């Protein structure tokens, strides 16, 4: 089962910031928080990941609370093309550094409106 | 730089038949994972291949099998198809040793009738 809880759906006005919350209260010390999104009829797309520090890249920012029990993905200036299902996933690095599989929940359906 | 390529894009099969789906990973990636995504659900992990061996497996029956070739490409085989196997099958590639995310293909839409 997925270890995260996300709202089922959210709306955002075009040009405004979209803030997508995720609860992961049982996260372990060696687990990362990953965000993916899936635009209709496409495969999931990696957005960003972090362990305990806030992270930013060209797509988004990830804010992780100090206790690491929740996080927020921020799309600073949402466009219509950001309409998608957003998945928050926690995943451990296996011993030796290899990547474990991803466990997806149902995600948050973000609708960006004109 | 080509991403993950999957073929075919769509497929219709009859219940009881067998199907083979193919995946070419992103250049430089050595690990391939397969996921099944039913309508309205998140993707579910089937298995992962590295160095031509199955390394991890999700909760799927033995009817689901796979293979990885020396060039890192992979196949997913499903035998004795059931109506419930109708789904989008996604292939994802990654580097075994790395913290970066997976790169997914656009998937194969399998319909079992």
| Cβ <8 Å between B90 and A41 | no
Could you give the CA distance from residue B75 to residue B55 in angstroms, rounded to a whole number? 15
What is the tens place of the pLDDT at every residue in A31-55?
A: 889 999 999 889 999 999 999 989 9
Position B8 scores a pLDDT of 97
Percent of chain A as helix, strand, coil, to the nearest 5:
5, 50, 50
What is the tens place of the pLDDT at every residue in B33-83?
A: 999 999 989 999 999 999 999 998 999 999 999 999 999 999 999 999 999
| Average confidence (pLDDT) over B13-32 | 96
What is the tens place of the pLDDT at every residue in A63-100?
A: 999 999 999 999 999 999 999 999 999 887 654 445 66
Task: Say if residue B84's pLDDT is above 90.
Answer: yes
Chain B CB within 8 Å of residue A59 CB = no
- Paired strand residues for B99: none
E strands, chain A, where? 9-13, 18-23, 31-38, 45-50, 55-56, 61-64, 70-75, 84-92, 108-113
Chain B CB within 8 Å of residue A63 CB = no
Contact B24, B49 (CB under 8 A): no
Q: Can the peptide bond before residue B8 be classed as cis, meaning omega within 30 degrees of 0?
A: yes
Closest CA–CA distance from residue B78 to any residue of chain A (Å): 20
What is the tens place of the pLDDT at every residue in B4-15?
A: 999 999 999 999
| Average confidence (pLDDT) over B18-25 | 98
Task: Say if residue A3's pLDDT is above 60.
Answer: yes
């Amino acid at each position: 089962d997925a270890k995260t809880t996300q709202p089922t759906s959210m709306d955002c006005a075009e040009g405004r910031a979209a803030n997508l919350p995720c609860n992961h209260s049982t996260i372990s010390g060696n687990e990362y928080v990953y965000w993916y999104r899936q635009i209709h009829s496409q495969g999931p797309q990696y957005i960003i990941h972090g362990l305990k520090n806030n992270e930013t890249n060209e797509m988004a920012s990830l804010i992780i609370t100090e206790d690491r029990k929740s996080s927020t993905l921020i799309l600073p200036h949402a466009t219509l093309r950001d309409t998608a299902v957003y998945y928050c996933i926690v995943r451990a690095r296996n011993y030796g550094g290899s990547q474990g599989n991803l466990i997806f929940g149902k995600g948050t359906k973000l609708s960006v409106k004109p | 730089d080509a991403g993950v390529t999957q073929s075919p894009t769509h497929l219709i099969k009859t219940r009881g038949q067998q199907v083979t789906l193919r995946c070419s990973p992103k250049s430089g990636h050595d690990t391939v994972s397969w996921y099944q995504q039913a309508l309205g659900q998140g993707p579910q992990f089937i298995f992962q291949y590295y160095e031509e061996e199955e390394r991890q497996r999700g909760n799927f029956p033995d009817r689901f099998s796979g293979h990885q070739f020396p060039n890192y490409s992979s196949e997913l085989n499903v035998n004795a198809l059931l109506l419930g196997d109708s789904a989008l099958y996604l292939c994802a590639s990654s580097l075994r040793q790395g913290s970066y995310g997976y790169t997914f293909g656009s998937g194969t839409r399998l319909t079992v009738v």
